[in-house]
Homo-oligomer: A and B are copies of this chain.
Amino acid sequence: MNWTLAQRAQKMNPSVIREILKVTEQPGIISFAGGLPSPLTFPIEAMREASERVLKDDGKAALQYAASEGYTPLREWVAQDLLKQGMNVSPDQVLITTGSQQGLDLVAKILIDAGSRILVETPTYLGALQAFTPMEPVAVSVDSDEHGVNAEDLRAKVGTGADKARFVYLLPNFQNPTGRTMPEARRAAVAQVAIDTGLPIIEDNPYGDLWFDQAPAPSLSSRHPEGSVYLGSFSKILAPGLRLGYLVAPKALYPKLLQAKQAADLHTPSFNQRVVAEVLKDGFIDRHVPTIRALYKQQCEAMLAALDREMAGLGLSWNRPVGGMFLWVQLPKGMNAVALLDKAVKKGVAFVPGLAFYAQDPSESTLRLSFVTATVDQINTGMAALAQAIRESL
């Protein structure tokens, strides 16, 4: 039997990172690789109580087919919660998605034709590149620094006519993979480019609530609501195994995204939506999220201290995130992160080589470290092992 694969399927290759992560899941490995939230932060008891209540009080509706838009009380909660991002949206603009990853899939279906240019950060979230790929765009990297994309390079790359970029995909808060955050001035400049050129913004904000000491500046979408799609997630503030996210779209675009959602999986599980709406009642998030922030801040500080201690004099540099889950390391010039990973795994520690995160011209001497899954003790042990692997690679 010879299956005729679609062109896009022929181009899809097994994810490099997927194969790498398999190695890092070996028992005994201290992994800074995966982007797994700490299970210590999962509100298991609140979920148990809410599941019980939902099935007792509202079981038939929770287990029945439901509207593709999502569960109304959850959409209302989202609209209310977004006020803190400076966004004033109607619940009618909120579409509940099966994780925010699905938001990327829907956006791709609606906005990308084969050969369309799209603009992304350097580096950018690998999962977004994977979600966009089936629609066969040409992903163009915009020059970026520790504050996110360069606004002038963004302006230069928008293009015009049939060649005009369909959108720019941005993660302004504690970006995956770098952990960097766009400051106020950069947000203003980037939003201005979008407004001046009519360039749509796809703003992905799964980590925005995970700030350590101070909330980040207002969202890009709040500055250009008619030209932005905003993606949010419950994965990092409640639990990823629920697969609950949402998107907020301007009224001009919402109906098309809704149709794509309906065709994709009819609706996000009604049970999960009701359980989470039940958990969120009575200000749960305002009590719960500060405990996540405190834990991740402590682990980030432990990792930064370990880097300062273990990597002194080895020629590395790294950033100092103010929230989120990741930090970004520049290896000594010429050191290959994939080769280093091989050595590191033998010493019992893992990370993700940075080259997985580039749409163009991957840098081979960068790597991503997650500080949220491992304990402080594991961070100390793992960083010493990583330093040893680096010394042997010099």
Residues of A within 8 A of B (CB): 1-9, 12, 14-15, 18, 34-37, 39, 42, 44, 47-48, 51-52, 55-56, 59-66, 97-99, 101-102, 105, 109-114, 116, 127, 130-131, 133-135, 164, 166, 198, 200, 226-227, 235, 238-243, 250, 252-253, 255-256, 259-260, 262-272
Contact = CB atoms under 8 A, between A and B. Distances in A.
A263 B133 contact: yes
A227 B3 CA distance: 8
Nearest to A43: B63
B42 A52 contact: no
A198 B6 contact: no
Across chains A and B, which 5 residue pairs bring their CB atoms closest together, nearest first?
Answer: A63-B239, A241-B270, A44-B59, A39-B60, A63-B241
A48 B39 contact: no
Given A105-B263, A134-B109, A42 B59 contact: yes
Contacts of A166: 4, 6
Given A101-B264, A241-B63, A265-B99, A47 B42 contact: no
B241 A5 contact: no
A249 to B, nearest CB: 10
B7 A65 contact: no
A242 B263 contact: no
A116 B14 CA distance: 25
A237 to B, nearest CB: 12
Contact of A51 (B35, B51, B113, B130): B51
A3 B252 contact: yes
A108 B259 CA distance: 16
Contact of A130 (B99, B135, B262, B268): B262
Contacts of A3: 111, 200, 252-253
Contacts of A39: 60-61, 63-64
Contact of A241 (B8, B65, B259): B65
B265 A6 contact: no
A253 B12 CA distance: 13
Contacts of A61: 39, 241
